[in-house]
Amino acid sequence: MKRIDVYAFARFLILVGLLIGVIYTGSKIDTLSKRLERIETRLGGPEKIGCNEKNSIEKVRQSVVRIVGGEGEGSGFAIKDGGVILTNFHVIEFEPSPKVILPDNSFQTAEILMADKNADLAIIKINKNLPVISWGDPKELSPAEELLAIGFPLGGTLVGEASVNKGSLSGRRRSKDVGVEYLQTDTTLTPGVSGGPMINICGEVVAINTAGLSGLGLGISADSIKQKWLEMSTADDSLKDIKKITFDDTTSADFAVATFYNYLKVRKLEKAFEILSDNFKKGHGFDYWKQGYQSLLDTTVIKIEEDKDKKDRVKIKLSTKDMVDDEIVYKYFEGYWDVKNIDGKWRLWDPEIKEIENPDFLWFYE
């Protein structure tokens, strides 16, 4: 019977152990490699591995604003120094003087620089510099790459910072009629986030949030935005799709009342004050009167008509939006103004206007 060489057997066990370790380690490395490959694919390639999602979101949020119009609300983001902001046209449709609510909840009246209703894009400007978001290249997006849609859901209904919806690129769609490319994602884009940026993991804008259904979101691609921006800049009339406001306090009583509220809408408070009669002012100056309108975001005249039974009386219905702390407060009013012609100009003499609590939908059409 042969004696077992203990040392040789020990060496054999060590070699077996090393072999098993190598095989196990190789298997783990292969598993980790596949996981890393999947992560790279989801993020859009190895060059985006170093990007920090949290940092990208915090940075982009400083450039995203809420936009309030007369009939619409949404989001926007800075695309150029000097307070130049991009949004969707449908956010500011019917609103010649949209209000921009900044990240610190202060607000400014914006000037519309150019717009394209067909492409659903608009560029506006405020007198405040905002950090500009850098552009990404939609053509370099990988299939199923993670994208983040940032904006303010449900407009002024929900307060707080811009929300973030995460999804994946589902495909590319092109509208021949509109002439733009859309990026399709599996992100649900709720009302209010329209006009906000759709970014990659590195915080680069690849599209603007535009439309969505449950489980589906569409954004106009950055390439199409740049092309439409150029077309708007060189158009004969880049504001042809924008509603114009009329100011006239000489033609008729109802025009004078409408002019008063139009001045409030565009926040030209000094001009609005001029249309008020001394009878209404009762010795109070502009500084005293304007205190009641510091928080006013918007005034929209729903109905205005001369009273058939009372000379120089104008009946009105209107809605207002006020910024109270960080919340938009909606109010509705109904009543009339008695108006007098003084030296060829109509002046608002005496009002009888009451607030309407929770009006039903028929109130807006009666």
Residue corresponding to tokens 């949020």: 61
User: In angstroms, rounded to a whole number, what is the distance separating the alpha carbons of residues 59 and 199?
Assistant: 12
- Sheet with strand 73-80: strands edge to edge: 107-109, 99-101, 64-68, 73-80, 84-87, 121-125, 111-116
Burial class (CB in 10 A: 0-12, 13-18, 19+), 219: buried
**DSSP SS3 for 314:** strand
Paired sense of beta strands 84-87 and 99-101, if any = unpaired
Q: What are the pLDDT tens digits along the chain (366 aa)?
A: 455 566 776 777 777 777 777 776 666 666 655 564 555 555 555 666 778 999 999 999 999 999 997 777 899 999 999 999 999 999 998 888 999 999 888 899 999 999 999 999 999 999 999 999 999 999 999 888 999 999 998 765 667 788 999 999 999 999 888 889 999 999 888 888 999 999 999 999 999 999 888 778 999 999 999 999 999 999 999 999 998 888 999 999 999 999 999 999 999 999 999 999 999 999 999 999 999 999 999 999 999 999 999 999 999 999 999 988 878 899 999 999 999 999 999 999 999 999 999 999 899 988
* Domain architecture of the chain: domains with CATH: 54-234 (2.40.10.120), 253-364 (3.10.450.100)
